Structure 1
Amino acid sequence: MTIDSHQHFWIYEAEKHAWIDDDMKVIRKNFLPEDLKLVYQANGVGGCVAVQADQTLAETDFLLDLAEKNDFIKGIIGWVDLRASDIDTVLKHYSTFPKLKGFRHVVQGEADHNFMLRPDFLNGIAALEKYNFTYDILIFPHQLGAALELVRRFPNQKFVIDHIAKPYLKDGFYDGWAILMKAIGEHKNVYCKLSGMTTEADYNNWTPEQIEPYMQLVLDAFGANRILFGSDWPVCLVAGNYTKTKELVTNFIAKLSSEEQAAIMGGNAMQFYNL
């Protein structure tokens, strides 16, 4: 089964979704399961992992409600304040929902380069393992050093890098990102999503050839058994459509064995998130 390991739902509100700028206005509207269901039918996708897009407990509950009503939503990645002093109580509550697989914080939006290494945040990460929750790392390349230190500190915690850590594709920056991604890939508790790549390039003029070296580095660093296909729908719509987004990955991995392709397109997500 093809599993999309990374997509979002929202009921659009201008203030809440202020990050959707004028260049992205095509996604200034509601995106809900009934919309995605049609996209998946057209693209042969059997299920997905829905990921938080807003940093509130209400967002986590919103996704849980959608997952309860839609069988194709196989898992959700919610948000909790990992820095909270009552984090254990909060996680204990959420551990009663089978489709809630893990959490994410929008670390890319934090000004502090070392946000993930602050004692209160580390305390929250330490609490995840007890409840078998995963953690999605959403960062920019300048935060990769902190990410490396984080995954090194928690060798038994399951981590996944979102959107290949958002390298500055548009500017062609590669080397610094590549060195740190290789180092992170050496830690077997860390996976990486082949997602969110076209939106880091020029929305209108990106080419598969431009993105391929980055995907190749991720494949070399993590191996076929630790990378996951993700669409980042509906955000991907600002740089193309779902089919183009999926084909960027399927065409790239066509050189691999059928077992490796099946793992990247669904098997790894099922295993990582325990779907």
Structure 2
Amino acid sequence: MLKIDAHQHFWVFDPVRDSWINDEMKVIQRDFLPPELDFVLRESGMDGCVAVQADQSEEQNAFLLGLTEGHDFIKGIVGWVDLQADNIEERLEHYSHTKLMKGFRHVLQGEANRALMLEPAFKRGISLLHKYGFTYDILIFPDQLKFATKLAKEFPDQKFVLDHIAKPYIKDGKIDSWSAEIEQLAACPNVYCKVSGMVTEADWHNWTNDTFKRYLDVVFKAFGTKRTMFGSDWPVCLVAGDYTRVKAIVSEYCSQFTADEQDMIFGGNATTFYNL
């Protein structure tokens, strides 16, 4: 079974477009391209990855799809389309002919309208994804979990995956309301969860693997081992820890599970979800 990193990014750094990468994150104010990740993955015993959009444009889709040429360790792409556009079905039909485009994502965490995903135009776009075999990555903060649950219930045939365990407030030690809403979302059998993006929600310079244990307890109790998948969030993770350390958080925690369950978390579930 392939070992898959279900969530990482590539970019050619642009200080204007990538203004979210502020000076506090200087370590990632540079280009990150496939040859570098190929080395990192091999070093960590991983076979492949899913590359996720880092810019909300169809130019980004073309960029990511172009990177797959000659880099067969990139097993799939999660791109971006304007789900609210009048021509959304035309765009989905277009991407259905690209073998490696597996799904789409919108940066809902950054929207002023916290419930944008429940607007009629957005839901119309979501309603068409299943027809073309596309998945949807849910990128949100904890205050939006209740909206994600409503969305998942409304589209039971659509495959959703929650990115970064919804970015709980790990640095502040908050867990209760997030925990309760994770359980509600996980009650939807069409929703998976990426065990990713945790180190950037902690104190970047003062965390240990134990920092994340109680959050992982919640996630694995809620989603189980059949709907969870490891993602590094490389290179964003580098602001708080290198690839080896980030992977070790999940590897150490999952050592309590059977070898088969670990294989699913580190590749099998991503392969199934994204049809890699």
TM-score class, shorter-chain normalisation, is over 0.9
Tell me what 2:193 maps to: 192
Q: Secondary structure at the match of 1:157?
A: coil
CA shift, 1:205, in A, is 0.4
Query: Equivalent residues in 2 for 1:37-76 (5 A)?
Result: 37-76=38-77
SS in 1 for 2:68: helix
Q: Match of 1:250?
A: 251
Superposition deviation, residue 111 in structure 1 = 1.0
1:174-230 CA-partner distances (Å, limit 9, x unpaired) = 011000100111111000000000000010001211211111110000010000000
Structure 2 Cα separation of the partners of residues 245 and 219 of structure 1:
17
SS at match of 1:150: helix
TM-score (normalizing by structure 1): 0.99
**How far apart, in 1, do the equivalents of 2:228 and 2:99 lie?**
23
Per-residue deviation, 1:69: 2.7
- 1:44: Cα distance to partner? 0.7
Gaps of 5+ in 2: none
SS in 1 for 2:171: helix
Q: How far off is 1:113 after superposition?
A: 1.5
Mapping of 1:225-264 within 5 angstroms? 225-264=226-265
Q: How does 1:149-228 map to 2 (within 5 A)?
A: 149-228=150-229
Tell me, what secondary structure is at the counterpart of 1:77?
A: strand
Q: Unaligned stretches of 5+ in structure 1?
A: none
Cα distance in 2 for residues equivalent to 1:17 and 1:207: 29
Q: Distance in 1 between matches of 2:24 and 2:169?
A: 17
Moved over 3 A (4+): none
Aligned residue identity for 1:222: F
1:212-271 deviation per Cα after TM superposition (whole angstroms, max 9, x unaligned): 111111000001000000000000100010000000000000000000000000000000
Letter of the 1:274 partner, please give it: N
Structure 1 residue 106 corresponds to structure 2 residue 110: no
Count of aligned positions: 275
Q: Which amino acid aligns with 2:275?
A: N
CA drift of 1:102 comes to: 0.2
One-letter amino acid of the counterpart of residue 129, structure 1: H
Look up the equivalent residue of 1:27 and give its one-letter code.
Answer: I
Paired residue type of 1:131:
Y
The normalised TM-score by structure 2 is 0.99
Match of 2:142 in 1: 141
Counterpart of 2:275?
274
CA distance in 2, matches of 1:263, 1:140: 26
Deviation at 1:155, TM superposition (A): 0.3
CA offsets 1:56-77 (integer angstroms, 9 cap, x no match): 0000111111113310000000
> Pairwise CA RMSD of aligned residues?
0.6
CA distance in 1: counterparts of 2:95 and 2:230, whole angstroms: 26
